[in-house]
Amino acid sequence: MDPLTDTIIALKKQRNAAILAHNYCLPEVQDIADHIGDSLGLSVIASRSDADIIVFCGVTFMAESAKLLNRKKKVLMPEPAATCPMASMCSAEQISDAKSCYRDACVVGYVNTTASAKAEMDICCTSSNAVSIVSSMKEKEIIFVPDINLGTYVASKVPSKNVILWNGYCPVHQSITVQNITELKKKHPKATVIAHPECRKEVLDISDEIGSTEKMLEYVRSSGGKEFIVATEIGMLHRLRKECPGKEFYFIDHALCSVMKMTTLSSVLRALETMGTEVVLDDGTMERAEGPLRKMIELK
Ligand code: 13P
Ligand code: SF4
């Protein structure tokens, strides 16, 4: 065990803090977390947490969502520079321009966005509920931001809607190619292919199962299969191995999200010691961004 672990656990108790970590975090960070999960699961946990402090190990949009859903709490980000590149592919101004072009459309926005972008949305979604959220909208025209791959996947599942796509993407999932999958499939012909919906359409088309990181885990747990090619970020391997012993997992080596790896045990300890860096959002943004997130949680 890392020598920092005991110190973190003691300090966490003393401060009445809860540590939340995304499935892509470093293994040692996942191991000290009170809760590990996908974006939706962690948002729900953040909204219900009775800890005084939430230490968010992940990227900024996740910590901001935790703050929006539990405003009275102090939310700390050990690595405040850990910003998802997809979140910077869609600004509040761009959404507002799109709304003026498509006046009958509503805006469904992936949580991988800034709080100010969320303030312009009708409702948020994550990769695990995007299909049901889009289906539930009364409008026929949906501006779906910012992930073009998730948006294309949703459009294929909800043909009754006219989904207007954005040009954002996750560089990590976008880098996974059909060739990467077919090479792994040649080496492991019995393996089931499971893919995150942030992957390109052509990758999803050759996958057996598509879902968020938590859905992937649920699928592997209940599957009778023994081998899985996993088209997502490499951090998922830790939980899959831990919670599904006896099964083999094959990942695409380059599918690594550097911002998710920024949070280390040292930075978690520093956050608890210094009580920083606190997530601070202005009141106006919070007022407007909370609604779309809360609506999502209620519809979940
Ligand atoms: P989920 O954990 O919700 O599947 O999201 C993946 C992701 O890219 C988070 O950054
Ligand atoms: Fe953003 Fe992709 Fe990293 Fe998730 S895996 S934080 S979507 S860059």
Question: What rounded mean pLDDT belongs to the chain?
Answer: 97
Q: Is residue 291 part of a domain?
A: no
Minimal CA–CA distance to 118: which of 151, 90, 141, 98?
90
The total of structural domains in the chain comes to: 3
> Is position 75 within any domain?
yes
Same-domain pairing of 163 and 105: yes
Q: How many A from CA of 58 to the centre of ligand 2?
A: 10
Residue 159 CA: distances (Å) to CA of 51, 64, 162, 248: 42, 32, 7, 36
- The answer to whether 125 touches 133, Cβ cutoff 8 Å, is yes
The answer to whether residue 294 is domain-embedded is no
pLDDT given at position 40: 87
104 and 74 in a single domain? The answer is: no
CA distance 258 to 129: 25
Whether 244 maps to a domain, the answer reads yes
Distance 10 CA to ligand 2 centre (A): 31
Is the same domain home to 91 and 76? no
Residues 163 and 198 in one domain: no
Where does a domain end: 138, 169, 200?
169
Tens of pLDDT, residues 251-286: 999 999 999 999 999 999 999 999 999 999 999 999
pLDDT per residue over 124-169, tens digit each?
999 999 999 999 999 999 999 999 999 999 999 999 999 999 999 9
Confidence label for 96 from pLDDT (cuts 50, 70 and 90): very high
Q: pLDDT per residue over 186-203, tens digit each?
A: 999 999 999 999 999 999
pLDDT at 101 over 90: yes
Q: Is the CB of 120 under 6 A from ligand 1?
A: no
Residue 290 lies in a domain: no
Evaluate: CB of 38 within 6 angstroms of ligand 1.
Answer: yes
Verify that 151 and 107 share a domain, yes or no.
yes
Residue 51 pLDDT > 80: yes
Q: Is residue 256 part of a domain?
A: no
**78, 91: one domain:** no
For ligand 1, say whether the CB of 212 is within 6 Å of any of its atoms. Answer: yes
Does residue 89 register a pLDDT over 70?
Answer: yes
On whether both 219 and 161 belong to a single domain, the answer is no
What are the tens digits of pLDDT across the range 226-258?
999 999 999 999 999 999 999 999 999 999 999
Q: What does DSSP say about strands 74-76 and 53-57: parallel, antiparallel, or unpaired?
A: parallel
Asked if 195 and 126 sit in the same domain, the reply is no
Q: How far is the CA of 38 from the centre of ligand 1 (A)?
A: 6
Distance CA 123, CA 31 (A): 33
Residue 96: which domain range? 87-169
Residue 144 covered by a domain: yes
Query: Ligand 2 in contact with 261 (CB < 6 A)?
Result: no
Q: For the chain, give the percent of residues with pLDDT over 70.
A: 100
Give the residue from 121, 141, 169 where a domain finishes: 169
- Return the ligand number nearest the Cα of 196: 1
Q: Looking at residue 300, what is its pLDDT?
A: 66
Residue 287: inside a domain, yes or no? Answer: no
Q: What is the CATH number of the domain that holds 41?
A: 3.40.50.10800
Site to substitute for ligand 1 among 20, 45, 196, 209, most atoms within 8 A of C-beta: 196
Residues 164 and 146 in one domain: yes
H or E segment to which residue 173 belongs: helix 171-174
- 8 and 42 belong to one structural domain: yes
Test site for ligand 2: of 24, 86, 166, 200, most ligand atoms within 8 A of the Cβ: 86
Neighbour-count burial of 217, counting CB atoms closer than 10 A to its CB (0-12 exposed, 13-18 middle, 19+ buried): buried
The pLDDT value recorded for residue 145 is 98
| 14 and 48 co-located in one domain | yes
Task: Report the separation in Å between the CA atom of 14 and the middle of ligand 1, taken as the mean of its atom positions.
Answer: 31
What is the Å distance from ligand 2's center to 82 Cα?
10
Residue 1 has pLDDT above 90, yes or no: no
pTM of the model: 0.97
Is the CB of residue 112 below 6 angstroms from any atom belonging to ligand 2? yes
Find out whether the beta carbon of 39 lies less than 6 Å from any atom of ligand 1: yes
Within this chain, do residues 184 and 215 fall inside the same structural domain, yes or no? Answer: yes
Single out the residue of 170, 108, 158 nearest to residue 131, CA to CA: 158
